[in-house]
Amino acid sequence: MKKLINDPENVVTEALKGMELAYPDLIKVQYNPNFVMRADAPAKDKVALISGGGSGHEPMHGGFVGIGMLDAACPGAVFTSPTPDQIHAATTAVAGAKGALHIVKNYSGDVMNFELAAEMLRAEKIPVESVVIDDDVAVQDSTWTAGRRGVGATVLAEKLCGAAAEDGHPLGSLRELCKRINSQARSMGMALTSCTVPHVGKPTFDLPEDEMELGVGIHGEPGRKRTKLAAADEIVELLMEPIISDIPFKSGDEVLLFVNGLGGTPLIELFIIYRKAAEIAQRAGLKITRNLVGSYITSLEMAGTAITLLKLDDDLTRLWDSPVLAPALRKGI
Amino acid sequence: MKKLINDPENVVTEALKGMELAYPDLIKVQYNPNFVMRADAPAKDKVALISGGGSGHEPMHGGFVGIGMLDAACPGAVFTSPTPDQIHAATTAVAGAKGALHIVKNYSGDVMNFELAAEMLRAEKIPVESVVIDDDVAVQDSTWTAGRRGVGATVLAEKLCGAAAEDGHPLGSLRELCKRINSQARSMGMALTSCTVPHVGKPTFDLPEDEMELGVGIHGEPGRKRTKLAAADEIVELLMEPIISDIPFKSGDEVLLFVNGLGGTPLIELFIIYRKAAEIAQRAGLKITRNLVGSYITSLEMAGTAITLLKLDDDLTRLWDSPVLAPALRKGI
Amino acid sequence: MSSISAAIIEAWLRHCADLFVQHKDELTDLDAKIGDADHGANMARGFTAIPGKLDVLVDKSIGSLFRTCAMTLISQVGGASGPLYGTFFLQASRPADGKTTLSHQELCQCFDVGLTGVVNLGKAVLGDKTMIDALTPALAALHPKNADSLEDAVARAATAAREAADATIPLVARKGRASYLGGRSVGHKDPGAASSALLIAALAETLKRTA
Amino acid sequence: MSSISAAIIEAWLRHCADLFVQHKDELTDLDAKIGDADHGANMARGFTAIPGKLDVLVDKSIGSLFRTCAMTLISQVGGASGPLYGTFFLQASRPADGKTTLSHQELCQCFDVGLTGVVNLGKAVLGDKTMIDALTPALAALHPKNADSLEDAVARAATAAREAADATIPLVARKGRASYLGGRSVGHKDPGAASSALLIAALAETLKRTA
Ligand SMILES: Nc1ncnc2c1ncn2[C@@H]1O[C@H](COP(=O)(O)OP(=O)(O)O)[C@@H](O)[C@H]1O
Ligand SMILES: Nc1ncnc2c1ncn2[C@@H]1O[C@H](COP(=O)(O)OP(=O)(O)O)[C@@H](O)[C@H]1O
Ligand SMILES: [Mg+2]
Ligand SMILES: [Mg+2]
Ligand SMILES: [Mg+2]
Ligand SMILES: [Mg+2]
């Protein structure tokens, strides 16, 4: 295992410490239970937005805590959902009278831990709503699975709902907005390499030099299918087809195209991917009016990419353009 | 070789095409000769800032073209300096009456190609000055080498000079500012893995599972020394000591701490590095008043990190805080 | 023996800490195949936190022991297994409230309501390739048969759990992370079923030791 | 033969395109050891661009051939080798201006001013482990000796260049990227010296073929 770490057991707390030292103006970090919150918490006169999940997906979610995005983020152990204690502590630390929205990625663990936390919070009369993000079209048959995973749409939902929360939307309307974003977004990813969970010390799976995994999530798990390595353009076709045909997106739709790196993929490759994804979207008659290119939701040092398409409307576009100031996303401030 | 690319020969142009499609509001891309320029070029009433170098270092330099940073960037082939034609074309495309500053990283090839271009430009009566960045303390004995390499300080110089150019500084004062930034910055890097030049198809060097390269540059070249793999904290000590003792930085200095990823290193590791680097800087009495954490100057998919320290003063701090709007750096806009 | 004391329950929970540390890599390897390679670490992190909690626990009734175990797992583990095993012990603690011994029948009742809690939370059914697949036959086997001893019944339950965990190998996962793999989950043992088998094995070993 | 025609010079430059494509991987491998693994691609990119330029060239005097070669290398190669080889041919073109043959002596003069240009631009001295180390002894060997034929002299120069390139192996690099390696550059042949040896070898082969 080749990583810039110390004791594998300390990866999460040391990385949190690094974030704390790097962004004192934007965030505060609490330990035991671990969570990241806005420096100006608790939220005044706005709904608090809280998300969380396993660590290893940086900058998600801690990097999205800030003005116009999340109020708090709960990082679990690497690839392990946070505990209800963390979620409870984070929520009570940042939520004001207007309550809190939990943005939860659809993984059994995340859903259950957020559910337990929400029960605890409701017992304390803290108004809390949850929206589960499940945008991953790689998981095809949802009656026979834990349902589609939450991936790239989470980043977009956090940005857009963060802007709406800043605008003063009440809890119920934020929940509906978040659901709408989720219903209008689809994603799919692929991996060139596995990744190594620090305390495990060896790659989660082996992938020969000439093969790739199609339809991976963000936890180093194998994908739906292993196939021969292909050229970038072919890979993008394999990702875009199921995305576009799923909603389905249709000619004339305005969309946001998000090309994400999984952690070990350099930007030069993401631009090559973006080029082809944009071409395919245009070929399908979609108008790409907004975009995001970079490694925003990762799977440790996995090499690979994931593409997300979000159908926009004037409302979502305006929210996307609203100011945001978080460690990993900045605009207008 | 596992990369998200098509024909290795097309990597640079396809990535440029991706950038062009992704940031139409910010940049324009020209081909044959290749360069990236601000969408609102040519520069009016300001000195034009041009940089360039081999490709494979993304987002540098193309990602730094925009308001408050570069006016144009010239991407060569992967790890190969751009040609005088590119530099000449880029400079004439963006420079106005106030002339142009070339920010050149100190590599024989970069220096010579920019020199030839500057000669051509001067023959055409275009006022042009060059500053060579050479901040890499890993190259110790400069009388017996091509001199120290230009690495992390380049990003900082582009941001700071970009802000000053926007403020209307004339060419001579910008050149002096750039030299001062270079003289106040020091960097050092290390690699956990090699990287693969696309048209070569195999890693530039082999690095066993339990070894690392200390003092690498950004071209996949081996470093000054190969040693046993160490814990992150120890690695940071090995990088920080030569940096701090070189200027030397001294107690009470205000500094900008830049922790850079080399392309294949995930953010979670960079935060662990930042944590220790900040601790060491503080131990030395330095006050970290500004910072930058991320993969801004890379070596394809190399796993590793580089640290840069820049001594700040009120002037540089103000320039750092000035607005910037480029594909890879955004602040205040 | 036809009943079980709080002391044995405490010894069991403490023994689990050792057992899950011992089997950490094995569980992680199973999870690497069809999940995200953290099940070993999750179980070890959760159960090693328990002895410290028990050391300072005042009320050592079985209900209190189970509740402490539950709260520790819920607050330490995360993932899918944290809330699931936490719920198992939280629900199991209710019928054991204030009790310092449990009859064989009462123990069965505790575990049965525990399992119901897990099913309600996780919504998995038998055959979905989850811990349910090991717990369900194990708890069925635990019920007294021909007035045998509790010790024999627990041994029988442990065997049933182990065999049931092995029997998850040919199944297609339909809950949890492994379900994302679809048919590719076939051929691998479910890590949660394996940890459930260890949990019951730990009780069998504890009873044997103290016998 | 005691002079060289423009046709042979053109054939030489065209032959270089083939030779540098053939030796692309070899040069890249050398550069991977002590540089950045692009020298083979750089030389191939530069020289393969030349035939097309020559195809449409009207003035085929030697000066014009050299100048075309120079401008093509400068505009296509980049890196360190682009300006250096470009400068070599640009300077070499001056004494050859308008000429359609060069005497042995004149050829030496062209190359000598070419080399001076390279030294002025790159500021390397003999022993710095660069192309200078191959070009310097090669051009010394090229000068007429005992009134031998130009063909023999070029063959001698090619041998000298090849041997000199090999002789860079034990040296510590002091210019270019390899210099960053310090002592670690010892034990590897300089890629630029190797490409210089190929350049001269190409001339020798061309003369032999047309002889
Ligand atoms: N919905 C569910 N119902 C019952 N058991 C489940 C469910 N989801 C997952 N599991 C069990 O949890 C185990 C995985 O636990 P663990 O690896 O610790 O959590 P995670 O899947 O979040 O990484 C699976 O092997 C399975 O037995
Ligand atoms: N200053 C210099 N003077 C002479 N030759 C040099 C100089 N710097 C580099 N070279 C030559 O250039 C060669 C490297 O060329 P190349 O790999 O194409 O460019 P780069 O080093 O920019 O990647 C070296 O092997 C060396 O022979
Ligand atoms: Mg997990
Ligand atoms: Mg090069
Ligand atoms: Mg798991
Ligand atoms: Mg080179």
Nearest CA to ligand 2 atom 17: D39
Handedness of CA D198, D200, D203, D205 (dihedral sign): negative
The tens digit of pLDDT for each residue in A246-304 reads 989 999 999 999 999 999 999 999 999 999 999 999 999 999 999 999 999 999 999 99
Name which of B153, B129, B177, B135 is nearest B316 in CA terms: B177
Nearest CA to ligand 2 atom 25: D192
Q: How far is the CA of B219 from the centre of ligand 4 (A)?
A: 7
Tell me if B108 CB under 6 Å of ligand 2. Answer: yes
The tens digit of pLDDT for each residue in A68-94 reads 999 999 999 999 999 999 999 999 999
Q: Token pair 């009388």 is at which residue? A: B143
Q: What is the number of the ligand 1 atom nearest to the C-alpha of C82?
A: 18
| Dist CA C55 CA C50 (whole Å) | 9
Amino acid at D56: V
Tell me if C130 CB under 6 Å of ligand 1. Answer: yes
The verdict on a CB contact (< 8 Å) between D78 and B54 is yes
Mean pLDDT on A169-183: 98
Q: How confident is the model at residue A170 (pLDDT cuts 50, 70, 90)?
A: very high
Contact (Cβ atoms closer than 8 angstroms) between residue C108 and residue C143: yes
pLDDT computed for residue A106 by the predictor? 96
Catalytic residue positions of B?
Answer: 57, 219
Can you spell out the DSSP letters for A318-332?
A: HHHHS-EEETTEEE-
Q: How confident is the model at residue D2 (pLDDT cuts 50, 70, 90)?
A: confident
| Dist CA D177 CA D157 (whole Å) | 27
Q: How confident is the model at residue C147 (pLDDT cuts 50, 70, 90)?
A: confident
Q: Ligand 1, from A81, A106, A107, A108: best to mutate by most atoms within 8 Å of Cβ?
A: A108
Contact (Cβ atoms closer than 8 angstroms) between residue B11 and residue A272: yes
The verdict on a CB contact (< 8 Å) between A2 and B265 is no
Mean pLDDT on D95-104: 98
Name which of D53, D55, D43 is nearest D86 in CA terms: D43
The SS3 call for residue D43 is helix
The tens digit of pLDDT for each residue in B257-278 reads 999 999 999 999 999 999 999 9
The tens digit of pLDDT for each residue in B160-209 reads 999 999 999 999 999 999 999 999 999 999 999 999 999 999 999 999 99
The tens digit of pLDDT for each residue in B75-130 reads 999 999 999 999 999 999 999 999 999 999 999 999 999 999 999 999 999 999 99
pLDDT computed for residue B142 by the predictor? 64
Contact (Cβ atoms closer than 8 angstroms) between residue B108 and residue B80: no
Tell me if D131 CB under 6 Å of ligand 2. Answer: yes
Mean pLDDT on B16-24: 98
Nearest CA in chain D to B77: D78
pLDDT computed for residue C146 by the predictor? 87
Q: What percent of chain B shows pLDDT beyond 70? A: 99
Query: Phi/psi class of residue C17: alpha, beta or left (left: φ > 0; alpha: ψ in -120 to 50)?
Result: alpha
| Dist CA D86 CA B117 (whole Å) | 13
Interface predicted TM-score (ipTM): 0.96
Between D17 and D2, whose confidence is greater?
A: D17
pLDDT computed for residue A145 by the predictor? 78
Q: How far is the CA of D200 from the centre of ligand 2 (A)?
A: 17
Q: Is the pLDDT of residue A141 over 70?
A: no
C14 is written with which tokens?
Answer: 């403490």
The SS3 call for residue A227 is strand
Q: Is the pLDDT of residue D197 over 80?
A: yes
Q: Token pair 């704390």 is at which residue? A: A20
pLDDT computed for residue B43 by the predictor? 82
The tens digit of pLDDT for each residue in D33-85 reads 999 999 999 999 999 999 999 999 999 999 999 999 999 999 999 999 999 99
The SS3 call for residue B58 is coil
Q: Is the pLDDT of residue D108 over 90?
A: yes
Between A221 and D116, whose confidence is greater?
A: D116
Q: How confident is the model at residue B141 (pLDDT cuts 50, 70, 90)?
A: low
Burial class (CB in 10 A: 0-12, 13-18, 19+), D134: buried
pLDDT computed for residue A71 by the predictor? 98
Q: Is the pLDDT of residue A185 over 80?
A: yes
pLDDT computed for residue D182 by the predictor? 87
pLDDT computed for residue B139 by the predictor? 84
Q: How confident is the model at residue B140 (pLDDT cuts 50, 70, 90)?
A: confident
The tens digit of pLDDT for each residue in C35-90 reads 999 999 999 999 999 999 999 999 999 999 999 999 999 999 999 999 999 999 99
B14 touches chain A (CB under 8 A): yes
Q: How confident is the model at residue D211 (pLDDT cuts 50, 70, 90)?
A: confident
Name which of A269, A308, A315, A266 is nearest A291 in CA terms: A308
The tens digit of pLDDT for each residue in B6-15 reads 999 999 999 9
Q: Is the pLDDT of residue A142 over 70?
A: no
pLDDT computed for residue A129 by the predictor? 98
| Dist CA B52 CA B60 (whole Å) | 8
